Amino acid sequence: MNTAIPVQLPQHNRHSHYETVKKAIEYLTENAQRQPTVSELAEQVGLSSSHLTKLFEDWAGISPKQLLKVITLGYAKEAVLHAKNNLDAAYSSGLSGGGRLYDLFITLEKVTPGEYKSMGKGLTFKYGFHDSPFGTCLISANDRGLNHLGFLEASEEGEKLQELRSLWPLSEFVEDANSTAKLRDHIFYPENKNSDLKVFLKGTPFQLKVWQALLDIPVSTNRSYSEVAKDLDREDAHRTCASAIGRNPVSYLIPCHRVLRKSLALGGYRWGLPRKQVMLAYEASLSS
């Protein structure tokens, strides 16, 4: 199952740009009703208005004012009533993308029943911590594909690595940042269009179906938890579906960030709601 994923972001000062954008989005979200000015926002993040505007335009091809429109209109019920998806409303309010769209095709490969029962015994994974456009990430993979892409704060490295090991308790994990850096660059900064990437996932049959369904959600489009359950002909299982979405081990590539509550509130996000907002705002800024 394949899907197109936007992956090109500026490479300079990637991590610091994410942290600034994250802080700005948090402030805009908390204060959206009173529509803060660019000067006020710039003061909050410790930059001049012109520097902040340039950073936003470099990072995602939009200005802080346009980002505020996304936050103000993007998750509003009325916007969705008049558009195919809630982010169409953001486009109609003047949002235009400066980013180029690259295609990264994702193929999902499952563990065998034997590997599932043996809890990964005999498998070896390489892992590494890296800067990314969306903050620090932990990447893990073996020769059959990427099995983990998660985001974390600086103080959480030990905790997140332990969580990863607990999912594959009898597997061997070897730190090899040089190897996983190549994956990081392939995911976020591909040199060629139409790149291919395999993900190697362990989950229950229902979880795997949910993760495959997430791959079908187009860029700049959202689904509710109940809509994903309906797509799987399991309308009665939206809570179970939401639980499976929350356990997605490959953030961003398997786009669980595109799933919102029926009210269009963001809902939960395993790697933090500000990061979910950053991803949605970035995707909204892309033009095909």
Q: Does 178 have pLDDT greater than 50?
A: yes
In the chain, the DSSP E strands lie at: 104-110, 124-130, 136-142, 145-152, 172-175, 195-201, 223-224, 259-260
Q: Which of 143-152, 195-204, 264-273, 274-283 has the highest mean pLDDT?
A: 143-152
- The more confident residue out of 184 and 220 is 184
- The more confident residue out of 208 and 16 is 208
- pLDDT, tens digit, for every residue of 4-27? 343 344 444 555 677 787 788 788
Q: Which of 13-22, 66-75, 94-103 has the highest mean pLDDT?
A: 13-22
**Count of CB atoms situated within 10 Å of the CB of 21:** 26
**Which pLDDT value is given to residue 1?**
44
**Count of CB atoms situated within 10 Å of the CB of 152:** 18
Contacts of 24 (CB under 8 A, 6+ apart): 41, 44, 45, 52, 56, 64, 67
**Catalytic (active site) residue 256:** yes
**Which pLDDT value is given to residue 90?**
37
Q: Contact at 8 Å (CB) between 258 and 222?
A: yes
Instruction: List the single range of 221-230, 267-276, 277-286 with lowest mean pLDDT.
Output: 277-286
- The more confident residue out of 202 and 83 is 202
| Mean pLDDT within 198-225 | 88
Q: Which of 201, 256, 260, 281 is catalytic?
A: 256
Residues 137, 71: Cα–Cα separation, whole Å? 25
CATH architecture observed for domain 108-199: 2-Layer Sandwich (3.30)
Q: Which of 12-26, 30-44, 58-72, 86-100 has the highest mean pLDDT?
A: 30-44
**Which pLDDT value is given to residue 193?**
54
Residues 2, 180: Cα–Cα separation, whole Å? 22
The Cα diameter of the chain in Å comes to 59
- The more confident residue out of 140 and 202 is 140
| Mean pLDDT within 150-157 | 90
Which residue type sits at 13? N
Sequence spans of domains, the chain = 14-100+272-285, 108-199
- pLDDT, tens digit, for every residue of 263-275? 556 677 888 888 8
Q: Does 251 have pLDDT greater than 90?
A: yes
Give 35's pLDDT tier (boundaries 50, 70, 90): confident
Residues 274, 257: Cα–Cα separation, whole Å? 11
| CATH code for the part of the protein at 14-100+272-285 | 1.10.10
